[in-house]
Amino acid sequence: MKSEMFKVNVVSLCYKQKYDTTEYPIINNSKIAADILYQSWDKDTIAMEEQFKVLYLNVRNQVIGLYTVSVGGLTGTVVCNKKVLACGLKIVASGMIIAHNHPSGNKKLSEQDRKITKSLQEAGKIMNINVLDHIIVLPNGDYVSFADNNEL
């Protein structure tokens, strides 16, 4: 499965009346989401820079977009709630799985990880775009799921 097919083309996709999603995966567990996300990371830089990405889903929990929101340094990146929601609104997303990587390989959830999750949950509620999970992707392909750890 190629992750390129999930990149969001915000300008064209939001103006299409209908688009075929029959080949897009349905997310029914964190492993499927984490695999798609891991495939989207450049393996040459996943351990060097933190990135924040969003998987956008329709009402069937089917992937309709993957957007890289920001790229930062070794220990962090800036996340703009407006960009995350603007993209979701343009493609008429019903849900989103937010994600970032930990270049260090550390599985521990930070207080900042929890804050951005809560902030996006609150912002998403207003626009009816639910945060379904926050996944931390590690350089070795492993991951941590907020939903699996009852952190949502």
Contact 133, 24 (CB under 8 A): no
CA angle 63, 96, 124 (to 5 degrees): 150
What pLDDT shows up at residue 21? Answer: 58
Instruction: Over range 85-95, report the average pLDDT.
Output: 93
Query: Model confidence over 111-136: pLDDT tens digits?
Result: 999 999 999 999 999 999 999 999 99
Q: Give me the pLDDT at residue 84, please.
A: 94
Is-contact 129 88, C-beta < 8 A?
yes
Give the pTM. Answer: 0.85
* Architecture of the domain made up of 3-15+22-145: 3-Layer(aba) Sandwich (3.40)
Q: How confident is the model at residue 62 (pLDDT cuts 50, 70, 90)?
A: very high
Mean pLDDT of 51-56: 94
Higher pLDDT, 80 or 19: 80
Match 């103006």 to its residue by tokens: 15
The token duo for 83 is 């960009």
Share of the chain above pLDDT 90, in %: 73
Handedness of CA 45, 152, 67, 112 (dihedral sign): negative
Strand partners, 52: 70, 100
pLDDT of residue 10: 41
Distance CA 67, CA 8 (A): 6
How many whole angstroms separate alpha carbon 99 and alpha carbon 51?
8
